[in-house]
Chain A
Amino acid sequence: MTLKIEQDWKDIVHRCFRCGYCKFTYDYSDFNCPSYKKFRFETYSTGGRLWLIYGLISGEISWSQDVANVLYACSTCGNCSENCRFDKFNDLLVDIIEAARAEAVEKGFCPEKQKALIERIETPEMYNPYGEQNSDNEDLKKEYDLPDKAKWVYFIGCTSNYRQRNLRDATLRFLKRANIDFTLIDEHCCCSPVMRTGQINSVKDFISFNIAQINNAGASKVITSCAGCYRTLKKDWLKYGADYDFQIYHTVELVKELLDEGKLKFQSEYNKIVTYHDPCHLGRHMDVYEVPREVYKQIPGIKLVEMKRNRENAWCCGAGGGVKIGYPEWSVEISKERLEEANTTGASVISSVCPFCRTNLSDANDKFNMNFEVIDLIEIIDKLDFEITDTKH
């Protein structure tokens, strides 16, 4: 269920009883809400946030920067939705928090650090949250000899294009080696960071621009290696009224499809113990849990081990929801906890399928000298020999 932007979510918010299931893992063995675990006041649980939002709606409290800060101290990981027992509205919890953030923005209470996201995205010649010069990807198209029109568009995403180029390049190489008929577009931010932080005024323009670019490329399929872009294109764009005919894939879904069809066969080994970190945007937000695991398991040599909190109960990496930019120290503390959990599995590699998770896990790994190899699944595949046994896809 998705909360439509026009829907009156204000009629739902008071239904939260503040029972506290939202704080836990499914077996109650630990708090799994990064925000509550850090700040500990009831205010910082999802129940607390919903009550605050209700207080704002009812006029029992007034907007202030302190109140807005509580709304923003949340990575929107979705653990609350997963563990909330009220199934008539538990899917909407994150949407409600994001809608309240949009109100905060409207009232002038968006925290300063998060404001940078929209300022950069809306800056002509940038159009990305990192403040980099926009890449129209023409150089990459030349480098990889890509056509102007193709069946697939690889939507790189800002994090991969400006911060995790190794992941981007591994994806490009995989698509080429797999004979995928694909191209790149002059893409602007998918808008995930600004949607998550309630800065939504120009979102529809960005969506329209990107959809036009994809359509101009003649693509019927869009593939992305970013869990955040995947969620945004597949779920949020529709929420904002987007109308498109193309299908959305995460890279890992294509890999799985090729493996299932027998068109992709790995021919070398990756002899390491690997633990998989579920990105919130792919897992809890999109219910994709098993596809990546099935791909890891088919890589020869890999021993895949699970962390205690996995799938629906995965601990967030701490990068999402504007937390990475708003609370950089806390953000890596969250990742540190994930690495500590990974440490108990005997794995030497922590792997995921999201450049944002990769960034934050790597930052924590470096900061706290955790000695993991942090690597995306597509980067592992990039290291392997494989055979493609069919014609162009």
Chain B
Amino acid sequence: MNEKNILKELEDIVGKDFASNRSGDLYIYSQDPGASIPRPADFVVMPNTPKEVQDIIKLANREKVPIVPMGGGLTLSGLVIPVKGGIVMDMKRMNKILEINELSRFALVEAGVTSGQLLAYLNENHPSLQPPIPDAPPSVTIAGNALIHGSGYLSQRFGDHGAMINGLEVVLPDGELYKLGSCAVSDYWFTRGPIPDFIGLFISSFGTLGVVTKLSIKLFPKPKMRDIVFGLCKDPKVLPELISNITFMDVAEDILLGIQDKPDWMKGYTFIIVYITGESEEELNNKTKILKKMYRNGKSRYMKVPKRIEEIFLEKPQFAAKAADFRKGGGFEYVGAFIPLQLIPEIIQIGTDISLKHGIVPTLGARLIGQGHAAMFFISYSFNRADPKDMKNAREALHDTNKAVLEIGGIPWKAELVGQQLILEKMDPNYKKLLKSIKNLLDPNGIMNPGNWEVK
């Protein structure tokens, strides 16, 4: 079938206004704000219902045209760049919040609901609840973040956001609609089990197995008060034990680390940012006292910061994208390495060395996940989008970092194509075999986001 006929079929499915092969639309959907090389899309389509998603996938499968599902499009690692062309399916018209269950604390949302939308909706209608949202602009989607194994607010206490998924509705390449989790058995999308758990197949697989149309995500009680207790650490070697101890005491809602060479006064320190919550000032004061003592005992010290700094960190979501203008260039990308706590000192050194080697000001940090079970440690590289050499330099820095992370025992998160191949190289051969078998079973024509997680 030629392009004109495919466009016509897409228009028949979603309406003329929401299918496009106009050059401007294709240009935008052929790239993302990270450092990955753009690759041309052939069509962009915006479905509005699961049925439309099914029809598009049936068309793609019949015509063997690649499909790339897209949420906010802000992974930065090019996961929604159509590696082999085809149809980019922007899910953001599917933006209904279908259910908020106050008692069992979950939200059932369509795949295009943004984190900003859910946050605002809960603030207005269910102020006692808070959603897990990423350190990303409010335009990212709840589904996209959870499905890339995202982390963010509440990850320290409750784990990564992928672990907070209760259920999925997903369209597989055969065009059929599948319900996964308790919703496969019950009307309540309240839990992942207790049945064989297939949800994990769709986490971190980057749309290579199916298109998620609905998702149930856990919500959490919103404490009355929230504050931050900042700490300052000179010697990174003390960090693993200090952080482990803080998580052991269960006083922290979230824990962040920040390490950067600019401004100058920050150089040489790790900033520890511990979010505490409580129902009263007294509770916050007690937690603050505990943390001050822990900082002292952990060869670090408590740091009082100006109100304006505190406000920056208390904003939800944080304005993490500010790194994009560090080089007045509109771009940054990072390696987000999942690491065990003991690797923190080593990765700080690695990140700093690689940044300096590539002439980039070291900008590193971490978010603790699951009460000390892991950290998502990021090493961020800003670049100038208008300078191809600078972008290439950033890509090389990312590549060096991915390699170094894997060498020390960490795993790059939401890795770009090259990073995925590095992970696959190191992966247990039977895991790879299983990955390939599942892919071939579910997607025999290889239409789902081809190029990603490609076992060669």
Contact = CB atoms under 8 A, between A and B. Distances in A.
B160 interface: no
Nearest to B20: A41
23 contacts: A14-B384, A14-B385, A17-B33, A19-B137, A19-B139, A20-B74, A21-B137, A27-B123, A28-B116, A28-B138, A29-B120, A40-B46, A40-B93, A42-B29, A43-B24, A51-B27, A52-B24, A54-B385, A58-B386, A67-B24, A70-B24, A86-B324, A88-B325
A85 B23 contact: no
Interface in B36-69: 38, 44, 46
A131 B28 CA distance: 38
Contact of B28 (A42, A85, A86): A42
Contacts of A24: 116, 138-139
Contacts of A58: 386
B198 interface: no
A58 B73 CA distance: 22
B248 interface: no
A19 B22 contact: no
Nearest to A51: B28
Contacts of B38: 60
Interface of B, helix, strand, loop or mixed by DSSP:
mixed
A279 interface: no
B46 A18 contact: no
Given A17-B331, A41-B90, 19 more contacts: A14-B330, A17-B33, A17-B332, A19-B137, A19-B139, A21-B139, A24-B139, A28-B114, A29-B121, A40-B46, A40-B90, A41-B28, A41-B46, A42-B90, A52-B24, A52-B28, A61-B24, A66-B24, A86-B325
B179 interface: no
B72 interface: yes
A24 B332 CA distance: 22
Nearest to B92: A40
Contacts of B332: 17
Interface size class of A (residues with CB under 8 A): 35 or more
A40 B25 CA distance: 11
A46 to B, nearest CB: 12
Nearest to B46: A40
A32 B29 CA distance: 22
A55 interface: yes
Interface in B305-327: 319, 321-322, 324-325
Contacts of A66: 22-24
A23 interface: yes
Nearest to B114: A28
Interface string A250-269: 00000000000000000000
A4 interface: no
Given A40-B18, A60-B27, A19 B120 contact: no
A39 interface: yes
A48 interface: yes
A353 to B, nearest CB: 29
Contacts of B92: 40
Interface in B217-268: none
Interface of A: 14-21, 23-24, 27-30, 39-43, 48, 51-52, 54-55, 58, 60-62, 64, 66-67, 70, 85-86, 88
Contacts of A27: 120, 123
Contacts of A54: 385-386
Closest 4 CB pairs of A and B: A28-B116, A20-B139, A17-B324, A29-B120
B59 to A, nearest CB: 19
A42 B114 contact: no
A271 B170 CA distance: 56
A156 B312 CA distance: 46
A392 B142 CA distance: 62
Contacts of B93: 40
B278 interface: no
Interface residues of B, number: 46
Contacts of A40: 18, 46, 90, 92-93
Contacts of A19: 33, 74, 137, 139, 321, 324
A48 B28 contact: yes
B341 interface: no
A20 B90 contact: no
B27 A52 contact: yes
B421 interface: no
B375 to A, nearest CB: 24
A246 to B, nearest CB: 38
B90 A61 contact: no
Interface centre among A17, A21, A40, A61 (most CB of B within 10 A): A17
Nearest to B330: A15
A42 B73 CA distance: 10
A38 B61 CA distance: 30
B298 interface: no
A66 B29 CA distance: 15
Contacts of A23: 139
B330 A20 contact: no
Nearest to A18: B33
Given A40-B93, A58-B386, A28 B325 contact: no
Contacts of B117: 28-29
B17 A21 contact: no
Given A28-B120, A29-B120, A52-B24, A85 B321 contact: yes
B3 interface: no
Contacts of B31: 51
B119 interface: yes
Contacts of B451: none
Nearest to A16: B330
B124 interface: yes
Contacts of B16: none
B39 to A, nearest CB: 13
Contact of A14 (B90, B138, B329): B329
A41 B385 contact: no
B289 interface: no
Contact of B322 (A20, A43, A85): A85
Contacts of B74: 19-20
A41 B25 contact: yes
A275 B47 CA distance: 36
Interface centre among A19, A23, A52 (most CB of B within 10 A): A19
B321 A14 contact: no
A351 B17 CA distance: 33
A67 B28 CA distance: 11
B122 to A, nearest CB: 11
